[in-house]
Chain A
Amino acid sequence: MKQGRERLRNIRATAMAALREIFDEAAYARFLSRAGMVSSSKSYAEFRRELEEAKVRRPKCC
């Protein structure tokens, strides 16, 4: 029972991590840690600028 709950928790955590990666939340957290900044309008704008540079070159499939 306990093991099952633990497994469910792990699945949920992994799914959330995947969603955070897909939706760039994880990338933002890494950016903040790399740049030594805290979350703010300014830092988010900075992050977006950096992200757009890389993201606009990525194709999306059909």
Chain B
Amino acid sequence: MNKTLASLGWATVAVLGAAAVGAIAVRRGEPINALWLVVAATCCYALGYRFYSKFIAAKILALDGLRATPAERLENGRDFLVTNKWVVFGHHFAAIAGPGPLVGPVLAAQFGYLPGTMWVLAGAVFAGCVQDFVILLFSVRRDGKSLTEMAKDEIGRVGGLVAYLAVIAILIILLGVAALIVVNALKASPWGTFTIAMTMPIALLMGVYLRRIRPGKVLEVSALGFALVLAAIWGGQYVSQNEALAKLFTFSAPTLAILIMIYGFAASALPVWLLLAPRDYLSTFVKLGTIALLAGGIVALHPTLHMPALTRFVDGTGPVFAGKIFPFAFITIACGAISGFHALISSGTTPKMIARETETRMVGYGAMMCESAVAIMAIIAACVMPPGVYFAINSPAGIVGQAPATAAATISAWGFPLTAADMQALAHAVGEQTLYNRTGGAPAFAVGMAHIFSHSLGGETLMALWYHFAIMFEALFILTILDAGTRVARFMIQDALGHVYEPLGRTSWYPSILATSALIVASWGYFLWQGVKDPLGGINSLWPLFGISNQLLATVALCVATTIIVKMHRARYAAVTLGPLAWLVAVTFTASWHKMFDPDPRVGFLAQARGLAAGPTPLSSATVRVIFNNRLDAAVTGVLVVMVTLVLVESVRQWIGILSGAREARVREAPFVRTRLVEERG
């Protein structure tokens, strides 16, 4: 009876999901309610988790609840620690959820709501969740080894080296792009800059409170810090209205870029935990709270999407970034569908906390589903505003023109009605002087979020506060990623340099700290500066580069996973990782080819360089710099593709060798030890 009821229940979920997906796929020419997306996503995730992840767990991975995990065998109370599965789930989700699932879907909304939604749902269920799940399990079975170590063990030295270089490359490009998003959100915005500036003294205060007044009470002090940040947002409006104060907090994009680079260097090279640790906590607190608030807001207020299902820009002429729907929609949205970076988290802290193998399914597959849901929320936030407003915010001046009237006329001519007066009124409502050319996704997301909430809590009068709350939330946790990422990259470089000259590897040796910090900041700072000076807004070049490097890392992770599956004699089920791998290879290699060689100068780096070089001579120094940057971006893309090709070739050689019997299928798992937790739990 129960089985029949369960079957009926799942059949209902399937029918409901199919109806919702059908509704969002076939609806044309009229607005659609956001709840359709919510229902489609919920049903897809439920079905994917219940059936697909269970199939993978049972048939391929053969999860064994009796096998002791490293958290149990190597428990030391620090890294290795048996932890409640829901606690690990929360911890893992907090580590994987960053700005990616918010920014990528907002940018990809230029194609309409449909492509992004479909890719987020299918990508997560069949690729992203699978990658996170299998890499987590394989790391658990290898004493919590990292992706780089597993690549070296299972594929060979080439795999290990490429994974290492890919991680460094992705970190540098990510940090450059992330910093650019903050710059574009805060430029000429005294309110936003004041709020972010205030997080520094607030964090210092929190640090003193944590150290002197209530040691260790992080949740308590984070709640206090959050209240102070809200007060800073409230106070920001008075700063923006006071001419003298507004001037003090108004910066151009290049000035902000320099300030952020100085911040990144100081955060990496100086012992400033009193500032950074509390800010990290504050950022996590705000992040989790805002995601919960936005989810609740969307369900309760179920706003209407005004963006069409598909826009004219599927042909590749989009103003936000150039390139056709295939492959560019699929590299623009990485986090939310599949992100190679997650493989680092799934083979980092999380496998050392898992109590039982069977819990990897919920943590690995389940947490990625939640991140995918965040991406769906970002799509909704981007699509609730009138499309004309969306394009005005996200289009660079180089495409739509500098003057408001010109920009409004250009966007209206695309079929998205917009007037300069409407944009001025909106900018005024959110407390900004202008919202034009704020590329990068963060301001558009903030306007969308403010739009959703202004229809309920506080109405239009609170719209400016909601907008600046969203800007603060994004800038705060992007800055946290900047300082954490710079330090992680610095350690990786120091580890490698230590093999060349031992003192360079010492993480406490100041000359090495200063040199490696400067090297990392200069590397991502270069990309940031390039973006700030780019006449097309920077995002057009840099976000695809980030997407390509992130997806190439996922390619490496899926190569490792497929190799292990083949070695486990489960080759007949290898399609589970081979399918996403083939898709990613098609997407990333096609995108890379376009970014390097496409004859359209808005798409191809080399075509743009050629076009500029053919201009009237003598070339200005700015033009020469843009030409060099384009050639550099093409070279970076080429190097990434060559590296991943090497891993692919090496992996295929392994598979063929094992399947033909020429090579021994030896998995490098830790030996089986029976868990004692079962007996302890009775």
Contacts and interface: CB of A to CB of B under 8 A. Distances in A.
B420 interface: no
Interface in A2-52: 14-15, 17-31, 34, 39-41, 43-45, 47-48, 50, 52
Contact of B99 (A52, A58, A62): A62
A22 B78 contact: no
B550 interface: yes
B91 A22 contact: yes
B360 interface: no
Contacts, number: 119
B339 A14 contact: no
Contacts of B558: none
B370 interface: no
Interface in B340-368: 341-342, 344-345, 348-349
Contact of A41 (B81, B174, B211): B211
B484 A60 contact: yes
Contact of A61 (B216, B219, B342): B342
B335 interface: yes
A29 B212 CA distance: 17
Contacts of A61: 95-98, 100, 335, 339, 341-342, 344-345
Interface stretch (B458-466, B485-493, B625-633): B485-493
Interface stretch (B16-24, B82-90, B434-442): B82-90
Given A59-B344, A62-B98, A62-B174, A21 B87 contact: yes
A1 interface: no
B563 interface: no
Contacts of A20: 219
A48 B273 CA distance: 8
B171 interface: yes
A17 B211 contact: no
Interface of A: 14-15, 17-31, 34, 39-41, 43-45, 47-48, 50, 52, 54, 56-62
Interface of B: 77-79, 81, 83-84, 86-87, 89-91, 94-100, 167, 171, 174, 178, 210-212, 215-219, 222, 273, 277, 281, 284-285, 288, 334-335, 339, 341-342, 344-345, 348-349, 480-481, 484-485, 487-488, 491, 546, 550
5 contacts: A17-B87, A25-B218, A30-B77, A40-B215, A57-B488
Given A18-B87, A44-B210, 9 more contacts: A20-B219, A24-B281, A28-B215, A57-B491, A58-B484, A59-B345, A60-B484, A61-B342, A62-B481
